[in-house]
Amino acid sequence: MIQPDQRTEVAIKSLRNNPDFKMVVDWLVDNKVDVEKVNRIQKDDVLVRWGQGTAQALEFIITNLVSR
């Protein structure tokens, strides 16, 4: 993933109070939790790294774009 430009970041942040966007954020958080659960029991190193990358990307979106 590439970091969003300033216009995209502003657009995402402007959606915070929209109830539909709140549902999207909740979906992102739920997905991050699910990825982390699967990662804890995963034995394949490649899949673990893939899951870590997914969790990191979701965490970035949730904390840097949505929660600020």
Where do the domains of the chain lie?
18-66
- pLDDT score, position 33: 95
Which parts of the chain sit beneath pLDDT 50? none
pLDDT at 36: 95
Indicate the DSSP class of residue 42: -
Q: What local confidence, expressed as pLDDT, does residue 46 receive?
A: 95
Per DSSP, the three-state class of 2 is coil
Model-wide pTM > 0.85? no
